[in-house]
Each structure stands twice: as C-alpha cells, then as structure tokens.
Structure 1
Amino acid sequence: MTDPDARPQSGSGLGPATGPETSPETGPARGGGPAYPLSWRLLDAIEGLAALWPARASGAVKWALLAPALALVALLLWGLGVMADASLREMDFRTYRLSEDWSLANYARALGSGAFWATARRSLLAAAVVTIICLALAFPYAYAMTRTRSARLRKLLLVGLFLPFFIGQVVRAYGWLIVLGQEGLANEALGALGLGPWRMLFQYPTVLFGLVQYMLPFAVLMLAPALAAIPEEVERAAESCGASWPRALLHVVIPMALPGLIAAALVVATLTLTDFATPAILGGGTNDFLANLVYDQFFRTSDAGLGSAITLLLTLAGTTVAGVLLAAAGVAALGVRGAR
C-alpha cells in the first residue's frame, strides 16, 4: 500500500523533485548537469559572431593588430625625415631662418667641434659604465626574486622594484641634490664620522650614480622573465653531475639567460646614451650629454639646423651601440626564430 500523504521524491532520494536548476547568474543547467555560467554563454555568442567574419578578410587581422605599432614607426620616420631636412639647411642668424639650399655645413661644424667630441666621449663612457654596473647589480636581484621560496621576500623585492617607477626621474634627481649637497644628509653622516664634508654634486661620478639608480629597475625587468623561464631542475641537474652552485650559475644559468642580459644591456645603454634630465640636474651644466647639447642648440642658440644634425648623430650613435651589442652576442641569442 502507498501512503496518500507521501511526496514524490527526487531521483537521488535526498529531497523533493524540482525543475531544472536555475540561478540568476548562471541560468538553467544543461541536461540536468551542473549550472552553465552566463559568462560562458556570452563567450559562446561572441565565438558564434566570429564565424560571420569573411574568410577572405582573415589575413587582415594581423595587420589590424600591427597597425598601432606601424603608425608609431611611421611617425618616428616622419620626424627623422624632418630632422634630416633641417640638418642640411644652415641657419642664417640675420633672419633666424634656415637656408633654402642644402649643405653639409652643420655636420662639419659638429664633427669639427672639440666640445661635441668631448660630450660624445662622456656620453658613450657613461653608457658603457652604467650598463656594466646595472647588469652586475640586476642579475643577483632578479635571480633572488625568481628563485626565493619566501612569498614575503618576493613581495618585498617586487615592491622595491616597482616603487621607483612611481617617482619621476626629475623628482629623483632633485632628491639626490638634497641628499648629496654640501650640507646634505650624506655629508652630515660623513661629518659625524669625521670624514667630511666632500663635494659630491656636479661631478661626473655623481651623474653615473644617478643614472645607475634610475636604470637599475629597467635592467631587472628585462632579466626577471629570462631567469623565471629557466627551470630550477636545470640547476639541480648540473649540481647532480658534480658542478658546484657557482659553476652551475656560470656555465648553465647565465648562458641560458643571455637573451635577457642582451635585452637589458640594449635598454640601459640606449637610455643612458640619450638621457637628458640626470646629466642636466646632477651634472650642473659641466657634465652634459649629447641630449643636453641638442637642447642647447634648439632652445638657447636657436640653431635648429645644427641641433638637427647633432640629433641625427646621436641617433646614429645609439643605433651603432645596439648593432655592436647584437653583433657581439649574435641575433640568435635574443631567441629570434630562424636567426643564425
């Protein structure tokens, strides 16, 4: 006999039978299974719209994605073209207008000037020194950040890496004026030890110090992905074969991290070579770089022709530095597919 008050049970026998599961966020379940999220349904709808895209236009997608980069390159080439045209026109200081005729007079003036060559040597030396120091400091920092097992230490290193990006370069340079001044914090500390005061500002080593402090985060950012892509098992395998940790680091990790090292060197060297703010503020006008020389020609002497010529020479110097680095390490070291 059956109980007239008995209620129909669900298939599992654990509760009353209900209709299809619904949720205001997920919608009804499919086939009695788990609920199908509404966001998945939206993605399915978008994928269905993609099927309406003409097959003939599928090749245009990559060009559409490349369009912003191509626009930036075109803008750069247009600016260089304007500079090249101005560099071939000598300034007439009677009218402060560029001549109509082309000549190489501006390049002859620049290359025949002792001030230009002194500034160029100072800029190139700074690019080399700052790059070497930044690589030497960035590698252990990036290695510790990618290899540490402590989440707290990793967060601390990340904060220390990204915090300088929230402070502008000019603000940091002026901060060093306060720290390194004749009565600044550094000289006060040296005076307490009986070693001061020292003249630190407006010296070439001070400019290099400010550039290293500014460029170091860029070097770490370029190195960290390269080191993170190297499995720790590679080091353990080298150590299991009898190599000590320093030998494994020198002969295994560093060669595998070569693309990151080259990328960091390229970024630091070119940014240092073309830097303007740090030499202007910490150099005090006596340790100018090529970028400061360009500024002087455009805004102090109003010689746009000579300034354009020096700009193109600076561009050539940066391109040469990048070419030398790539030639020394090989393009294949950057991981470019198909390079030899």
Structure 2
Amino acid sequence: MPQTPSSNQTPRTFRYPLRWRVMDALNRTLDIVWPARMMPYTGWALLMPALLLVGLLVLGLFQMADSSLHTLDRSTFLPSENYTLENYRTVVENATYGKIIWRSVLGAVLTVFFTLLLALPYSYIMVRTSSSAVRKVLLVTLFLPFFIGQVVRAYGLLIILGTTGVANNALGLVGVEPIRLLFNFPAVVFGLVQYMLPFAVLMLAPALTAIPRETETAAASLGANWLQSFRHVVIPMAKPGLIGAGLVVGTLALTDFAMPAMLGGGSQDFIANAIYDQFFRTADQGLGAALALMLVVLGSVFVAIVISIFGAGTLGMGGKK
C-alpha cells in the first residue's frame, strides 16, 4: 500500500533561483526605460550603435575632404586658408603616385586571384571530407593565424624568405644559389595571399556547405567526372561565396599597410603607405587626405565593378536578374 508522509516531515519549500530574480529585475528596469508604447521603435534602437559608427565615419570623411582642399604652407607648416584642388592635381600628375596606385590595384587583383585559387579547394576538402580528424586539422590550421598578429606573421615571412632563411636553405640542398625573395612585388603579393587566405576560406565554407551533396551525385550519375562536376556544379553554386570572399580580400589587400611596408622594404609601397608618409613623415595632411579619399574612391569603384558584373543579388545567394 502507498506510503503517506509522516506528520513530522515538513514539505520542501521552493527557492526562487537568484538568476530568475536578476532577470525579473532586468525586465522591470527595461519596462521603465523602454515602455510598451516604444516597441514600434525597437528596431531603430537596435540600429543606433551601427548608425552612430557610420555617422562618425561620414563625419571623418567630411573632415578629410575639407583637409584635402588645403595645401601645406611650407613657411609655417600649417594648412593654407584658401580652398584649392592642388593636392588632387599633385596626385594625378605625379608619376610616383601613379605607380603606387597602379601597384596597389594590381596587387589587390593578384591577391584576390591567388587567394581564391587556394581557398576554394581548401574549403571544399574541409567541408566535404568524411574524416573528422582531417576536418579538425584543417580547422585548427585555419584558425591558428588569427592568434598571431599581422606584423608577427610578416616578421616570420622575413625569416623564412631571407637570404639565409628556410626557403633559400631548401633551394641550396638542390644546388640552387640563394636568390632574392624579399623586398620585391612578388614577396608583397605572397604575404598578402598568406594573410588573406583564412578570411577567404571562412567566407567560402558556408557557401560550399549550402550545396547539397546530391547535386554532385546526380552529376556523377549523368556521366560527369569529379573535375567536370566541380567546374559545372560546385563553382557556379558557390558563386555568392566566391564574390563575397573576393570583395573582402580585394578591399583588405588594397588598403593593407603592414605587408607592403615590411616585405616590400620601402620600395613597394601601397596607397596606405603613401598616406602614412604624408601624415606622419612630411606632415602634409592635405595631400594625405587627398590620397585617403582617392583610396576610398578606388575601393568603391572596385565594389561597383564587381556588383555591375555579377549583380547585387548574387551576394544574397541569388542570381543576377
């Protein structure tokens, strides 16, 4: 027969958890600060931090635009009071700045090409492999560079590519004399590709994960080999990831400072290096501001060209209409 609790046993009292009390207090505070009548404006409130950051960026651009219209008075080393387009004329007519701009654009394009060329198979293997051990190794290898700063990685490349570095020592084992692997344009592109590869893989992996395996199986059942399936099925379906990764890698490479400064040895400057020189070495803030605005324009033109070719809908996992 069922046992009944004895009369001397006291019932257990329910203890209200502390975290629930904290949540109730937060809810009451939120009701006071943001009452129910303000609920239609919740979305705008959530957008306020982002709008504030964008507003500060726009204000900074206006300030730079104003500075770019004033030349440096060499007698007082202060900006002139008159508005002029002399700084922009200097950038356009000076052959040195033309070379720097061309080098920056070419370096960004080459970085995008080689980075995507390496990131696509890496991402595909990481997503499609059936071995959890291989996937873990690829993930660890991918995330390790994020724990090392860009400057430290550039110093590592200086050691590896130096005259007595690992690369030249390996070439010496097969009888090749030491060659100059640093302080040239290929070294800068190599450093940028090495730096941008994890970003591209992180953007390509979700796009490849979204591709059903059945599509490749169907292509194989219709007679396509692996290469044909990869070319005609995987790459077209991964286009949003490729375009997004290309935009991120291209804009970051175009505006990079550390790799050209360290691996270029001062002879392979990009636009960011020229801006730094004008602001902090020659104190010509007007010319530096003009270069900075031209960098913004170049980045905007790069994005506009990509969107005009592939369509803005492609970035949203859709095709060009």
Asked whether the two chains share a fold, i.e. TM above 0.5, the reply is yes
1:162 pairs with 2:143: yes
1:137 pairs with 2:107: no
TM-score by length of 2: 0.90
Q: Matches of residues 52-63 of structure 1 in structure 2 within 5 Å?
A: 54-63=35-44
1:275 pairs with 2:256: yes
* Alpha-carbon distance between aligned partners in 1 of 2:303 and 2:190, rounded to the nearest angstrom: 23
In structure 2, relative to structure 1, the CA distance for the partners of 1:270 and 1:181 (3 Å cut) is same
SS at match of 1:334: helix
Q: CA deviation at 1:84?
A: 0.3
Greater relative CO (CA pairs within 8 A, separation 6+): 2
TM-score by length of 1: 0.85
Partner of 2:130: 149
1:312 pairs with 2:312: no
For structure 1, the 5+ residue unaligned runs are: 1-7, 10-15, 29-36
Partner of 2:302: 321
For structure 2, the 5+ residue unaligned runs are: none
Partner of 1:194: 175
CA contact (8 A) 2:87 2:286 kept: yes
1:299 pairs with 2:280: yes
Match of 1:175 among 146, 156, 166: 156
Larger radius of gyration: 1
1:95 pairs with 2:76: yes
Bigger drift between 316-325 and 42-51 goes to 42-51
Alignment RMSD: 2.8
Match of 2:220 among 234, 239, 258: 239
Q: Matches of residues 102-121 of structure 1 in structure 2 within 5 Å?
A: 102-121=83-102
1:263 pairs with 2:247: no
In structure 2, relative to structure 1, the CA distance for the partners of 1:51 and 1:198 (3 Å cut) is closer
Bigger drift between 61-70 and 312-321 goes to 61-70
* Alpha-carbon distance between aligned partners in 1 of 2:12 and 2:192, rounded to the nearest angstrom: 58
SS at match of 1:188: helix
* Alpha-carbon distance between aligned partners in 2 of 1:107 and 1:263, rounded to the nearest angstrom: 31
Bigger drift between 313-322 and 58-67 goes to 58-67
Q: CA deviation at 1:85?
A: 0.4
Partner of 1:205: 186
* Alpha-carbon distance between aligned partners in 2 of 1:245 and 1:86, rounded to the nearest angstrom: 57
CA contact (8 A) 2:240 2:317 kept: no
Q: CA deviation at 1:47?
A: 11
Bigger drift between 226-235 and 129-138 goes to 226-235
* Alpha-carbon distance between aligned partners in 2 of 1:243 and 1:45, rounded to the nearest angstrom: 61
Bigger drift between 113-122 and 142-151 goes to 142-151
SS at match of 1:302: coil
1:128 pairs with 2:122: no
Q: CA deviation at 1:221?
A: 0.8
**How much identity, in percent, do the aligned residues show?**
51
* Alpha-carbon distance between aligned partners in 1 of 2:229 and 2:24, rounded to the nearest angstrom: 52
Q: CA deviation at 1:309?
A: 0.3
Partner of 1:227: 208
SS at match of 1:275: coil
* Alpha-carbon distance between aligned partners in 2 of 1:156 and 1:218, rounded to the nearest angstrom: 17
Q: For residues 183-202 of structure 1, what are the alpha-carbon distances to aligned partners after superposition, in whole Å with 9 as ceiling and x for unaligned? A: 12221221222102111110
In structure 2, relative to structure 1, the CA distance for the partners of 1:149 and 1:103 (3 Å cut) is same
Partner of 2:48: 67
In terms of fraction of residues, the more helix-rich structure is: 2
* Alpha-carbon distance between aligned partners in 2 of 1:138 and 1:339, rounded to the nearest angstrom: 24
1:288 pairs with 2:255: no
CA contact (8 A) 2:182 2:264 kept: yes
Q: CA deviation at 1:247?
A: 2.4
Q: CA deviation at 1:113?
A: 0.3
Q: CA deviation at 1:244?
A: 2.9
